Amino acid sequence: MIKLLSGMVLGIVLTGVLAWTQAGAMMFNEYESPFDVEETAARIQANMQALESNGWKLSGIRDPGRAVAASGGNVLPVLLVEACSTDYSKPLLKDDETRILSILMPCTVTVYKKQDGKTYIGTMNAGLMGQLFGPKVAGIMSKVAADQAKFVTFDPKKPAPPLIKVKPGGGGAGGNDIGGC
């Protein structure tokens, strides 16, 4: 009996340690891009716009390296491509219980260069993240995850689209649009 209880406790502890050490890596997806940072970001923007039928609109593009450079630092290129889908955000923002998830809006895809000279794409693991908040959020975030997979799928035969320099919060439409989600 003591061996059985000891084994169970050890199993629970090992599972907890494994979850603790691996949880961060599971929350994000990283993909290598065959293109440079700007072209990758432009292709992601074009893919986001192609999913306008799912409510996606570009919210902005940020260059956090500029702030670092302005303070006297130097980092490899990083661009944050932002978009939001009102189809997915509306049910979350309408409900008091899920409104706090607005912290995850807009959907941000990061494109960056590493020391190895290669360009990478990073996304939040929306499917896994959604499962943490119950069936309603899981259902919505599984759709976001499916769209994210389309954001980062490129046809190398297609010519590179231009990078759209949308200011964050602009909603991608300009004018009086207060933008974002």
Q: Which domain holds residue 120?
A: 28-151
Whether the pLDDT of residue 70 is over 50: the answer is yes
Model pTM?
0.82
pLDDT by residue (tens digit) across 59-68? 999 999 988 9
Residue 170 placed within a domain: no
Residue 122 placed within a domain: yes
Residue 168 amino acid letter:
P
Residue 37 placed within a domain: yes
Domain CATH code at residue 33:
3.30.310.70
Under a CB-based contact definition with an 8 Å cutoff, are residues 37 and 112 in contact?
yes
3-state SS class at 178: coil
Whether the pLDDT of residue 74 is over 90: the answer is no
pLDDT by residue (tens digit) across 6-50? 666 666 765 655 556 555 668 999 999 999 999 999 999 999 999
pLDDT by residue (tens digit) across 113-171? 999 999 999 999 999 999 999 999 999 999 999 999 999 999 999 999 999 987 776 54
Give me the long-range contacts of 152-158 (CB less than 8 A, separation at least 24). Answer: 152/31, 152/33, 152/44, 152/47, 152/109, 152/121, 152/123, 153/47, 154/33, 154/34, 154/35, 154/40, 154/43, 154/47, 156/34
pLDDT for the residue 175: 40
Residue 128 placed within a domain: yes
**Number of domains into which the chain is organized:** 1
Element (H, E) at 112: strand 107-113
pLDDT for the residue 63: 94
Whether the pLDDT of residue 92 is over 90: the answer is yes
Residue 157 placed within a domain: no
Residue 165 placed within a domain: no
Residue 21 placed within a domain: no
Residue 117 placed within a domain: yes
